[in-house]
Amino acid sequence: MIEDGTRVLDDLARSSRFGSLEALLAAHTLFLHPDVVKQTRGRAVVPVVRDFARRGTAGQLPDGRRVVFCDNSTPRDLFLWSSGSKTARDVQYNHVWPGTNTDPDAYTALWNLCVTPAFLARLTDRGALMALVQYRAFTLFGDVLPMKWRPNEKPEGYDSLEEWWLGPAGAVKDLEAALRSRMARRPRSRASLAASHICWLFHPDGPDETLGLGWVGTPSSTRGAVRDA
């Protein structure tokens, strides 16, 4: 008989030094530093949304906004670039609020990202555990977290986790400079292409020509290029 995976994990957590699945998740969920997220003023970094079928292309949303379509690489890149980190094996970059994959105001918002070991990632989307993670994001980023995403109340049992929460990632003092440097080194990344072709957090009124990442044609002429869908 196949066992319920979450129940197995819960049993293991209860028999460990953590004592509960909630504490296990808290101790292994990494957020960006509040000082870094504050530099975004609560805005998304680039106009990118998830659409696996159209990834690597640019297009319009029903409301007319232009975006670049992506898999999950852009949130991962932005988390790493914004923390000065290198990726690790068997981890997953998660959105704190589900249903934001097609929302360009939230998909690359740094307050909406966290990292967990891959085997814990699904828990961030489930009921009471998801509520705990969301409230943790609120305690870290409440100053810039948009009102629509703020929790209505503190989840039951949250205070008991205070000693378990993993401290945030290292602080990047100048987020704009850090992102510009990474984009220059990764000109074919979807974040870089969205910024240079459409706009981005630190150049919101149009394509950022200062990045020096001109339009790169079609996939038939340049591998990894962004083209119109």
**Residue 152 φ then ψ, to 5°:** -75, -30
Flag whether pLDDT at 73 surpasses 70: yes
Average pLDDT of the segment spanning 175-184: 95
What is the domain partition of the chain in residue ranges?
5-228
Average pLDDT of the segment spanning 146-172: 95
Please work out, in degrees rounded to the nearest 5, the angle formed at the alpha carbon of residue 123 by the alpha carbons of 121 and 127.
145
Pairwise CA distance, residues 67 & 48, whole Å: 5
Average pLDDT of the segment spanning 216-221: 35
Q: What is the pTM of this model?
A: 0.90
Q: What element of type H or E holds 3?
A: none
User: What is the tens place of the pLDDT at every residue in 74-123?
Assistant: 999 999 999 998 888 999 999 999 989 999 999 999 999 999 999 999 98
Q: Quick one: what percent of the chain has pLDDT higher than 70? A: 91
**Residue 214 confidence (pLDDT):** 46
